[in-house]
Structures are given as structure tokens and as C-alpha cells.
């Protein structure tokens, strides 16, 4: 158990942030230490080269001045070497073959033979801690003057600086884990508050939301996204709860009626006609229940399936024409005219592919049937229902509009017509059409599965128009 607790701590975000921060600080300290050391070394070497170059240039001028009096040149060089004895400079005068003509007392026994670079018209030579700058003297003959120096002091100064910086670097490396832990704690604290808020969330207690500070940083953005997600979950749960409550109510009502009918039938002996009437009523209620269960199963299946359906080209104009044929008798009985209007040149074309959409034929037939059935139910006698097919080229879609001259829907109810079990006038629907408030919900679900769009417009007392847009097949 203690080992598992330790493992969880080591795997925590806080521990990983601490480790990363510590590593970054240590690497930064090491990089800074190396940069300071090498920068100091470079500066000292560069300054030494410049000083030696100045001295070599002065000797070059002296050789030119005293040439060809070599004794005078040697004397000048000896005087220069003697005056620079305290700083450790040494002087060497070489012939064209770089053989020694003169060397000061403190000069190395042999000339340096390793050239390491150039500095203008001068050449830099080095071997170990000895560094020299050489200049060519052009007189009657070519000679070279070198001014050198033991640069051991540079190594000493760099080592001294390193000894000063090492304790500082060591202290920073020791403090890095502590600083990293503090920073990691501050960074993780908002996430811990988010987790704490998430822990208290329950399916029935989704009113809590994450606090947004208003700083506009990444944590605020994350909290906003999570809150939006929680809003969607709460909305979905509320819809599901409402759906279950409405489904239970819709199932209970016909069952209650059936039980009541059976109780009345069994309360006393009756003749065959009364029993037949009771059985017919029970059959009607059973058919109503079967329809309700079938629609509920279809909605549940569509929720699980989403948009993952097998689609193929379907002739929407043919589906609409057959639906009109099927409902003509019902419409004529209520003195309602059904009209098919082809509203664009493409759909008027005799080409069988002009009105093809991508979808499932049986489901699109149900959409047209539901919309036409609703339109007939709520249309006034001697009115007209128009089914208008047109194209929307900019969206590459085919649109079907079912437009009636019925009672219309109020603006307050219009936003809820696609909700499951929503009915504008429940009492009227129960008495006249036995509606269950699922027809438009099923249409909405099917259209969205087909990556289409559905919209409704209505004026109370004037009529209703439902527009369905589906992607064209070609």
C-alpha cells in the first residue's frame, strides 16, 4: 500500500513538473557556468593578443628605423625586453627561414612552431601556455619579430572564477527542486480545483460549474470548455429524464384505458356485441401502443447509430410522388388539395438523376410521410398543401418544402416542435389524430443522420412550412 501511494505521487503531474523544472534549471546553470568561463577565457586571450600585437608593431617600426644596424636593433630589443620583464614578455627576432637572430633572456629555448591563427597582417603562434604574435618586417631582407607571453595567468584567472561560480551553481541546483516544487504546486492548484469540482458533480447535481477568473488564460479557456461540456451533459440528462417521463406517461395512459375497459367488461355479463366493441377498443389501444413502441425503438436506434448509416442515391421526387398518391384519398375526404411543384430547372429535367439525394430510401419515405400526414391533420377543409422541390446550388443540396394552410403554430411553441413528445394541442391530438409528439422528432433525427437540415416556419392562423434539405447525389 505505501508503495502504491508512492507510485501515484511519482506519477503525478506535480512531480513531473518538478523534475522537468529541476532539469531545466540545472542545464541552464551549467550552460551559464560554461558560457561565463569560456567568455572570460576568450576575452582574456583576445586582450592579450591585442597587447602583444601593439608591442610587435612597435618592434617592427624599430627594426625599420635602425636597419641595417643589427647591433642597434638588438640593443633596442634588449631594452624593450628589460622594461617588460615584470609582465613576462619575451622577444624573438627571426630571419626569413625563421631561425633565431635574437632572443631575450626569458624567451623559450626554441621558437614556437604551431600557428593558431591570424590577426590582421600578424600571425598568432601558441604552444601550451606560451602565446606569441609575429609580424613580418620588410626591409632589404625579410625578417620576423615575435612578442610572446606565458598565458598561464589566463588559466589561473579562469580557474579562480570557476571556484567562485561553482558554489553559486551548486546552491542553485540544490534550490531548483524546491523552486520547481513550488512552481509546480502553483501550476497544478487550478487543475486540482477543477478535479475537486468534478468530484462533487453527480448526475442529479449538475448545477455546479468551474470558477472562471476572467484572466483569459489557458486555464480559463479550459474551464469554459468544461463548463460548456457540463451544460451539454446537463441538457442531455434533462432531455432524457423528460423523455422517460413522457414515455412512461404515454405508455400508462393507454394501459390505464385498457385496464378500465377490461374491468367494465368483466363487471357483469354482457352480450357478444358489447364484447366485440370492447375488443375493438382494446385493439385500437394495442395498435396505438405498438406504434409508440416502434417509434421509441426507432429514436433509440438513431441515437446509438448517429450518422453511421449506409447511403445510396435515392430519387426524392419519386418518393414524394408516391406519398402524394398514398395520401390523396385521405386528403380528398377532408377536401384538401395536394400539389407537387418543381421549383427549379434541374428538378424539372426528365433526367432520373436530377432529384437524387444520398440516403436510405425507407427512412426518407418516412420523413415525407410524417410531414405530409401532419400537414393533412392540421389543414383546414378546402385548403391546399404544396410539396415544393427545388435545388440550393450554393450548398449542393435538394430542398423539399411541405407548405400547408392550416392552423399554424404560435411563436412560443415553434422552438419546441422537434422535442420528443411535444404537442402543441395535446387534447386535440388525442381526440382527433392520436398523435404522440414523436413524428417531427423522428424527422429531425433522420435528416440529421443524412447530414441534412430541417427547419420550420409558421404563422398562427395562416399555416406552416417545413423545409428539408438533403445533399445531392451528383
Tens digit of pLDDT for each residue in 175-212?
888 887 888 777 777 777 777 766 766 655 667 676 77
3-state DSSP percent of the chain in helix, strand and coil, to 5:
55, 20, 25
**pLDDT tier at 431, thresholds 50, 70, 90:** very low
- Residue 254, pLDDT above cutoff 80: no
Q: Within 10 Å of residue 451's Cβ, how many Cβ atoms?
A: 15
- Residue 429, pLDDT above cutoff 50: no
CB 315 within 8 A of CB 352: yes
Treating both helix axes as pointing N-terminal to C-terminal, what angle do 361-377 and 439-449 enclose, rounded to 10 degrees? 150
CB 360 within 8 A of CB 474: no
Question: Which pTM was predicted?
Answer: 0.49
Region 10-38: mean pLDDT is 81
Q: Alpha carbon of 135 to those of 129, 146, 212, 295, 405: distances in Å?
A: 20, 7, 73, 103, 109
96-100, 439-443, 468-472: least confidently modelled range: 439-443
- Residue 223, pLDDT above cutoff 70: yes
Query: What is the reported pLDDT for 205?
Result: 62
Nearest to 28 by CA among 215, 181, 156, 168: 168
**pLDDT tier at 135, thresholds 50, 70, 90:** very high
Q: 167-202 b/e with 16+ CB inside 10 Å = b?
A: eebeebeeebbeebbeebeeebebeeebeebeeebe
Residues present in the chain in total: 474
What is the rounded CA–CA span in Å between residue 173 and residue 23? 9
Region 315-337: mean pLDDT is 89
Burial of 300: CB neighbours in 10 Å, binned 0-12, 13-18, 19+: exposed
Query: What is the reported pLDDT for 203?
Result: 56
End-to-end CA distance of the chain: 64
| Residues sharing a CB contact under 8 Å with residue 188, sequence separation 6 or more, in sequence order | 13, 14, 17
Amino acid at each position: 500500500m505505501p508503495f502504491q501511494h508512492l507510485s501515484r505521487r511519482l506519477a503525478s503531474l506535480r512531480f513531473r513538473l518538478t523534475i522537468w523544472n529541476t532539469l531545466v534549471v540545472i542545464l541552464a546553470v551549467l550552460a551559464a557556468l560554461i558560457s561565463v568561463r569560456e567568455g572570460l577565457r576568450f576575452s582574456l586571450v583576445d586582450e592579450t593578443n591585442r597587447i602583444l600585437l601593439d608591442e610587435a608593431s612597435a618592434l617592427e617600426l624599430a627594426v625599420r628605423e635602425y636597419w641595417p644596424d643589427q647591433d642597434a636593433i638588438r640593443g633596442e630589443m634588449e631594452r624593450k625586453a628589460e622594461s617588460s620583464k615584470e609582465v613576462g614578455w619575451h622577444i624573438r627576432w627571426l630571419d626569413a627561414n625563421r631561425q633565431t637572430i635574437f632572443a631575450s633572456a626569458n624567451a623559450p629555448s626554441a621558437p614556437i612552431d604551431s600557428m593558431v591563427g591570424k590577426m590582421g597582417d600578424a600571425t598568432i603562434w601558441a604552444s601550451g601556455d606560451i602565446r606569441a604574435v609575429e609580424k613580418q618586417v620588410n626591409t632589404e631582407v625579410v625578417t620576423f619579430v615575435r612578442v610572446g607571453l606565458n598565458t598561464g595567468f589566463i588559466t589561473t584567472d579562469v580557474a579562480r572564477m570557476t571556484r567562485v561560480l561553482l558554489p553559486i551553481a551548486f546552491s542553485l541546483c540544490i534550490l531548483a527542486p524546491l523552486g520547481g516544487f513550488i512552481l509546480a504546486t502553483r501550476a497544478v492548484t487550478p487543475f486540482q480545483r477543477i478535479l475537486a469540482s468534478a468530484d462533487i458533480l453527480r448526475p442529479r447535481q449538475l448545477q455546479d460549474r468551474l470558477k472562471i477568473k476572467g484572466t483569459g488564460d489557458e486555464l480559463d479557456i479550459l474551464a469554459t470548455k468544461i463548463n460548456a461540456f457540463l451544460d451539454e451533459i446537463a441538457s442531455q440528462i434533462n432531455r432524457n429524464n423528460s423523455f422517460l417521463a413522457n414515455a412512461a406517461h404515454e405508455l400508462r395512459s393507454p394501459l390505464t384505458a385498457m385496464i378500465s375497459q377490461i374491468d367494465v367488461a368483466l363487471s357483469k355479463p354482457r352480450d357478444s356485441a358489447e364484447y366485440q366493441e370492447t375488443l375493438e377498443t382494446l385493439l385500437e389501444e394495442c395498435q396505438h401502443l405498438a406504434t409508440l413502441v416502434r417509434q421509441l425503438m426507432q429514436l433509440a436506434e438513431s441515437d446509438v447509430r448517429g450518422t453511421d448509416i449506409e447511403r445510396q442515391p435515392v430519387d426524392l421526387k419519386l418518393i414524394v410522388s408516391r406519398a402524394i398518391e398514398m395520401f390523396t384519398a385521405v386528403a380528398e375526404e377532408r377536401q384538401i388539395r395536394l400539389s407537387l411543384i418543381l421549383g427549379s430547372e434541374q428538378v424539372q429535367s426528365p433526367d432520373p438523376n436530377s432529384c437524387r439525394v444520398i440516403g436510405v430510401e425507407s427512412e426518407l419515405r418516412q420523413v415525407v410521410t410524417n410531414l405530409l400526414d401532419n400537414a393533412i391533420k392540421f389543414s383546414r377543409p378546402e385548403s391546399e398543401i404544396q410539396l415544393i422541390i427545388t435545388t440550393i446550388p450554393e450548398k449542393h443540396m435538394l430542398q423539399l418544402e411541405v407548405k400547408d394552410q392550416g392552423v399554424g403554430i404560435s411563436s412560443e411553441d415553434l422552438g419546441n416542435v422537434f422535442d420528443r413528445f411535444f404537442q402543441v394541442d395535446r387534447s386535440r391530438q388525442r381526440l382527433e389524430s392520436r398523435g404522440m409528439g414523436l413524428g417531427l422528432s423522428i424527422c429531425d433525427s433522420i435528416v440529421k443522420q443524412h447530414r441534412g437540415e430541417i427547419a420550420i416556419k409558421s404563422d398562427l392562423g395562416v399555416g406552416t412550412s417545413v423545409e428539408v434539405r438533403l445533399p445531392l447525389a451528383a
